[in-house]
Structure 1
Amino acid sequence: MPDEKEDSHVAEQQQSNQGVKRVRSADFSGEDELDSKRRARSHEVLFRIVVPSRQIGRVIGKEGCRIRIIREQTKAAIKIADAISRHEERVVIISSNDNGSEISDAENALNCIARVILQESDGNIEPSKHSPGNVAINIIRLLIAGSQAGCLIGKSGQNIEKLRSYSGATIMILPQNQLPLCASAHESDRLVQISGGVAEVLKALEKIGCQLRENPPSKVISIRPMYSSNSLGHPNAYLPPTSGTPILQLIL
């Protein structure tokens, strides 16, 4: 049975996510509201959040209870990729259909998981790290398709500057040579890093999730095939990004 404290905590996260009215990304991209409303909403919404190895247990919960609660309450599909090495980061893949509501199921799940990553072990949302100047530093990182980077950056960097001003968070889109080892999907993937105080990071993540939803990848997100347990001694481990093995479509 799921722990009652974890159940209550995730339920509070879900209510908080649903209670925040999303600001449309048209405000940042320059797209007028009419064009935005005309956008087809039948596509799948997909996010890939990079979770440090030391925090993946917190996301999963005891005997998988927390991730199960998030799945049940948000109705999103959530899969956790295997680590390439013991101390490697993990990619959590979140998806749902875009049903045209204010916030998609995948966005709800993304926000829930981000809160879990940022919280301290006592269940409170508190700064997880501090810089030498005692300024709170909390980091959330997302893998995005290369074709989605433009919607976040904007012409001459206008969109990302608006995002920074709106949220107060530090937002960077890192070059491909800084992709983590767990990013074994597309060579064109980019890493979005959001840092700052907890409230600022969550505010930026909500807006970025909205923009990514309205600007889906131009190509199908794919992963490389997995080695069998016989070849690596670890079931379902990903092949290294340098492998020449063909890419297969990710079916969620």
Structure 2
Amino acid sequence: MERRNRGRGTRGPGAQFSGMAGSGRQTDFPLRILVQSDMVGAIIGRQGSTIRQITQQTRARVDVHRKDNVGSLEKAITIYGNPDNCTNACKRILEVMQQEANNTNKGEILLKILAHNNLIGRIIGKGGNTIKRIMQDTDTKITVSR
């Protein structure tokens, strides 16, 4: 696996991992999610306070792509870090979204996780067993789009 060193803070969505598997070094794991555009302000917070707090608490880097696709109903967020840090940052983002939905009487919140086509088979599992188990364990509804 090739390791690219692009400098601090310039790693884009194409750089999937830094460090070699089994080398003992930390692996940066990009988690890409889509959130409803009207939730972006709450996720960022006043003067960036909420997103800064999430970053500090989870030790994951969170990039909100709010200027991409202006006027679209969804905005992309990329979270970089090890898998645990990415998971914790995503959970915190969901908590912020749920609080915002409660405050604005929006009801159900929608989160889309972007996964590479090569990984979908592993996520679904044989006979759909893996995705069914994930839904049961997390009390969520998961749909896989084409």
Identify which of 39, 63, 67 aligns with 2:47.
Answer: 63
Larger Rg over CA atoms: 1
Residues 158-177 of structure 1 deviation map (CA, whole Å, 9 limit, x = unaligned): 111222233332111111xx
Partner of 1:96: 81
Matches of 1:164 and 1:70, distance apart in 2: 25
Q: Report SS of the residue matched to 2:143.
A: strand
1:97 and 1:120 map into 2 onto residues whose CA distance is 27
- State the distance in 2 between where 1:106 and 1:167 align: 17
**In the alignment, what sits opposite 1:47?**
31
Is the CA contact (8 Å cut-off) linking 2:33 and 2:76 kept in structure 1? yes
Instruction: Report the counterpart of residue 155 of structure 1 in structure 2.
Output: 126
TM-score normalised to the size of structure 1? 0.44
Provide the secondary structure at the position in 2 that maps to 1:120.
helix
Cα gap change, 1:164 to 1:106, in 2 (>3 Å): closer
1:167 — aligned with what?
Answer: 138
Distance 1:157 1:49 in 2: 22
In 2, the alpha carbon distance for the partners of 1:49 and 1:62 equals 22
TM superposition shift of 1:83: 2.5
Contact 2:35 / 2:74 at 8 angstroms: preserved in 1? yes
Do 2:97 and 2:109's aligned partners in 1 also have CA atoms closer than 8 Å?
no
Q: Secondary structure at the match of 1:142?
A: strand
CA distance in 2, matches of 1:127, 1:150: 36
* Counterpart amino acid of residue 54 in structure 1: D
- Contact 1:43–1:97 (Cα < 8 Å) also in 2: yes
C-alpha RMSD of matched pairs (Å): 2.4
Whether the 8 Å contact between 1:118 and 1:127 is mirrored in structure 2 is no
User: Gapped runs of 5+ residues in structure 2?
Assistant: 1-20
Q: How many residues align?
A: 123
SS at match of 2:142: strand
Scaled by the length of structure 2, the TM-score of the pair is 0.72
Deviation, 1:127, is: 7.6
> Is the CA contact (8 Å cut-off) linking 2:42 and 2:100 kept in structure 1?
no
Secondary structure, counterpart of 2:100 in structure 1 = coil
Cα pair 1:118 1:128 within 8 Å, conserved: no
Cross-structure match for 2:4 = none
